[in-house]
Amino acid sequence: MAAVSGDPIRLGLIGTGLAVEQLHWPALRRMPDRFEVTAFAERSPEQAQRFASYAGVDDGRHHEDHRDLLARDDVDAVLVSVPIPLLLGIARDVLEAGKHLLCEKPTGTDEEQARAFLEFEREFPDRVVLVGENYFYRDDIRHARALLDDGAIGKLHLMAYRRAGQTVPRAGRFTSTPWRQRPQYRGGVHLDAGVHDIAQIRVLCGEVLRVHGAVQWANSTIDSPSDLALNLTFSGGAIGNYTACYSEIPVPPEPNDMRLYGTEGVLVLSGPEAERRVTLMRADGTTRTDVFRGIDNGYYGELCDFSDAVRHGGPVVGTIAQSVANMRIVLAALDSAEESAVVALDSPVEGGVPLWRPRGASGLFDGLPGTREISEN
């Protein structure tokens, strides 16, 4: 059900909260050749007015009920960005209405909903469905993956990844939303934000076979575990550790980096969002550091992948199955913590996560925003 026309895809938005305002819209507004927002659904009149104002979309295109949006003939595809407990039902409504779907992650609240999401692949084979995972499209992560594929560090044998920082409600931040503070989905912050880190782990380390996890509840502002310590065994033979701390109190400056130890070198992914760094340390003691600035964190590439699939057919990287695989690692970590036991992962994705490249491009970054300082040696 590809749209062969070169005209922009007529896009409807269901939900116009922080994720749209801070993540999706900054990318969409740079892509008028690919997308035209023709309608949006938002229950909050104040939020609807806010979106119409900053996006320049006529408020006459606003619907309070998303089903009214889905009945429109001038909507080809829909971006769904609503609280996690609402994703499954609205995603089904979109697909049953005959629209292509770009849906925020994760694939539901628990394993049962993840399985229901997977059924969409069988029920709606003629729809393009991409479940958002911007880390699959982030330039620094894809660059690191290309280095690994080229054998830059030899055989990977150990991964160490840490994320720590203060997480308390602040106006204008994702932590301010009540449904995140008192989540009605398993794992809370680790299923919402943590799946991004799991996506990075899978892109760079491969599929996970076993996990052994422990959690702590040390943040009274969120009704979920604040800390997760997770040991992982990968299908390629490597082992790893992932530590996530969403602290209630301020913490010292943390490196928050990923280190990949191989037989011929070490690869380090580090730096804040404004300046990502990929550093290769070779066995002979030499190093190179590649720097990425203003790279959009992957949302532009994600939208490119979606629009190319709608227009030209073909698969996307951010499939339902890939999102479910990320989710199941978090759920297995929670199972492991509850059972005090190693938990095996069933049915890893065959072939793992493919390396995304822009359609028709010879390189990894053709046509993408941002600047890159990449060494050639």
Q: Which two tokens stand for residue 21?
A: 């305002």
Give the pTM: 0.97
> Residue 32 is part of which domain span?
9-135+300-319
Q: Are residues 152 and 112 in the same domain?
A: no
Q: How many domains does the chain have?
A: 2
Q: Are residues 253 and 161 in the same domain?
A: yes
Q: Are residues 196 and 68 in the same domain?
A: no
SS3 59: helix
pLDDT surpasses 50 at 1: no
The pLDDT-based confidence of 375 (bands split at 50, 70, 90) is: confident
Does the residue 4 lie in any domain?
no
CATH number, residue 86: 3.40.50.720
Q: Are residues 103 and 241 in the same domain?
A: no
SS3 79: strand
Give the phi and the psi of residue 172 in degrees, each rounded to 5: 80, 0
CATH number, residue 215: 3.30.360.10
Distance from CA of residue 93 to its chain's centroid?
A: 22
∠247-253-255 over CA atoms, to 5°? 100
Q: Are residues 194 and 177 in the same domain?
A: yes
The tens digit of pLDDT for each residue in 100-145 reads 999 999 999 999 999 999 999 999 999 999 999 999 999 999 999 9
Q: Are residues 276 and 305 in the same domain?
A: no
Q: Are residues 181 and 78 in the same domain?
A: no
Residue 240: name the closest of 261, 256, 215, 264 by CA: 261
Q: Are residues 193 and 336 in the same domain?
A: yes
What's the confidence (pLDDT) of residue 350?
Answer: 87
What's the confidence (pLDDT) of residue 4?
Answer: 45
pLDDT surpasses 90 at 348: no
What string of DSSP letters covers 251-298? -------EEEEESSEEEEEE--TTEEEEEEEETTS-EEEEEEES-GGG
The tens digit of pLDDT for each residue in 35-84 reads 999 999 999 999 999 999 999 999 899 999 999 999 999 999 999 999 99
The tens digit of pLDDT for each residue in 164-201 reads 999 999 999 999 999 999 999 999 999 999 999 999 99
Q: Are residues 123 and 163 in the same domain?
A: no
Does the residue 3 lie in any domain?
no
CA distance 137 to 260: 19
Does the residue 154 lie in any domain?
yes
Does the residue 14 lie in any domain?
yes
pLDDT surpasses 60 at 253: yes
Residue 16 CB burial class (10 angstroms; 0-12, 13-18, ≥19): buried
